[in-house]
């Protein structure tokens, strides 16, 4: 598997994927004009323009597509439900149709947020989703569109952290930015999740393609922890004061989109089918730190269009 088209190449996942895999795979990153001077090939497209998706796939004919582009901002989706539905569900359906037509492998990226978080045990792939927010509703609709148009596609429900083009996109950057400036920040004690380092997610998604998996998979880290604990661990790794992370309830946060309290997902199916151990959040935070020591965040930001 060499020629892979990655949508959302300026995004948190897309850019890390492209930067991690361009030397071993012939990658094309789909961008709306935010990137400049990247070492990988880019293709300029607004996927919501009529006919764009079909034309792009027809022209580029990749061997595989990893579709990461989305409106992944919960608050923005809440205020623009129609736009969110179009980008997060209708477009993935178009991507899946085009891939099915040309027999191109597809990984569609979904979210852990499709669950309402009321279950105490880990959610497996057979657990019933019950999205709470507009974002989660539209992402679940996207999963359905993709799998009905192309049952051979992979739908990966993810949660991840890492460095981004803007330096502000991820939860890990939120904690880093606040703590490095010596500022207090809120850490929710009542949201549990299984974050995976974006570099580990990139490796896993490509491996899933290479191992010819298909269908629905949970692709998250191997450990559940609260967002407060996550902030504490970032603080300790970087040598910042963990006391700056203030324990808070998400219910007191003023955020408008409803959030699920328990997003502990089982990765048993993934690790069994791939025959590999999925990395923990601890090793991921170490890699996040090592990248900072190596100047990766600055390098990444140098690819932003001035
Ligand atoms: N971040 C997380 O922890 C998390 C958790 C669960 C699931 N996910 C899912 O993971 C995927 C990637 O998330 P992310 O955090 O990397 O998102 P992100 O940083 O917000 O990036 C979204 C990407 O989509 C692109 N995009 C938006 N509208 C587009 C359009 N009309 N045409 C072409 N490209 C468009 C954006 O381009 P511009 O830069 O030009 O706007 C950007 O490159 C999404 O499917 C998201 O739902 C993320």
pLDDT in tens, 115-132: 999 998 999 999 999 999
194 lines ligand 1 (CB under 6 A): no
The CA 71 to ligand 1 mean position distance, Å, reads 6
Residue of the nearest CA to atom 7 in ligand 1? 111
Q: For residue 100, give the nearest of 140, 50, 53, 52 by alpha carbon.
A: 53
pLDDT of residue 235: 98
To which H or E segment does residue 291 belong? helix 281-293
Regions of the chain where pLDDT drops below 50: none
pLDDT of residue 1: 60
Instruction: State how far the alpha carbon of 211 is from the alpha carbons of 33, 125, 198, in Å.
Output: 33, 19, 20
72 lines ligand 1 (CB under 6 A): yes
Q: For residue 112, give the nearest of 96, 89, 129, 87 by alpha carbon.
A: 129
Q: Report the alpha-carbon distance of residue 6 to residue 107 in Å, rounded.
A: 10
Query: What is the domain partition of the chain in residue ranges?
Result: 3-165+195-224+264-281
Residue whose CB lies within 8 A of the most ligand 1 atoms, among 6, 10, 11, 50, for a mutation test? 11
How remote is the C-alpha of 185 from its chain's centroid?
Answer: 23
Residue 69 alpha carbon, nearest atom of ligand 1? 24
Q: Report the alpha-carbon distance of residue 235 to residue 178 in Å, rounded.
A: 10
Angle, helices 52-60/91-102, rounded to nearest 10 degrees: 30
pLDDT of residue 70: 98
Residue 39 neighbours by CB distance under 10 Å: 10
Check: CB of residue 143 under 8 Å from CB of residue 153.
no
pLDDT of residue 306: 80
pLDDT of residue 286: 98
Q: For residue 263, give the nearest of 67, 71, 74, 87 by alpha carbon.
A: 74
Q: What is the pLDDT of residues 244-287, one digit of tens each?
A: 999 999 998 888 898 999 999 999 999 999 999 999 999 999 99
147 lines ligand 1 (CB under 6 A): no
pLDDT of residue 2: 78
**The domain 3-165+195-224+264-281: what is its CATH number?**
3.40.50.720
The CA 69 to ligand 1 mean position distance, Å, reads 4
Residue whose CB lies within 8 A of the most ligand 1 atoms, among 69, 89, 300, for a mutation test? 69
pLDDT of residue 256: 87
Q: Are strands 26-31 and 3-7 parallel, antiparallel or unpaired?
A: parallel
Check: CB of residue 195 under 8 Å from CB of residue 220.
yes
């Amino acid at each position: 598997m060499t020629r892979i088209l990655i949508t959302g190449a300026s995004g948190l996942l897309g850019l890390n994927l492209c930067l991690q895999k361009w030397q071993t795979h012939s990658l094309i990153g789909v961008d709306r004009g935010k990137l400049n001077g990247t070492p990988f090939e880019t293709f300029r497209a607004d996927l919501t323009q009529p006919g764009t998706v079909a034309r792009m796939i027809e022209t580029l004919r990749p061997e595989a597509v990893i579709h990461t582009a989305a409106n992944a901002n919960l608050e923005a989706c809440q205020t623009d439900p129609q736009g969110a539905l179009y980008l997060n569900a209708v477009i993935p359906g178009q991507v899946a149709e085009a891939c099915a037509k040309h027999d191109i492998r597809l990984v569609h990226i979904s979210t852990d947020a499709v669950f309402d978080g009321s279950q105490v045990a880990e959610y497996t792939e057979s657990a019933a989703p019950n999205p709470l927010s507009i974002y989660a509703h539209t992402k679940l609709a996207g999963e359905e569109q993709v799998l009905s148009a192309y049952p051979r596609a992979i739908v990966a429900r993810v949660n991840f952290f890492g460095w981004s083009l803007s330096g502000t996109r991820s939860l890990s950057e939120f904690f880093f930015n606040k703590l490095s400036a010596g500022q207090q920040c809120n850490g929710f004690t009542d949201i549990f999740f299984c974050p995976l380092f974006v570099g580990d997610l990139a490796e896993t998604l490509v491996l899933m393609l290479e191992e010819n998996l298909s269908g629905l998979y949970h692709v998250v880290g191997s450990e559940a922890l609260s967002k407060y604990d996550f902030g504490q661990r970032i603080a300790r790794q970087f040598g910042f004061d963990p006391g700056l992370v203030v324990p808070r309830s998400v219910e007191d946060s003023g955020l408008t989109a409803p959030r699920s309290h328990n997003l502990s997902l089982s990765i048993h199916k993934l690790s069994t089918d791939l025959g590999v151990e999925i990395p923990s959040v601890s090793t991921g935070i170490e890699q996040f730190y090592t990248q900072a020591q190596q100047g990766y965040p600055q390098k990444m930001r140098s690819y932003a269009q001035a």
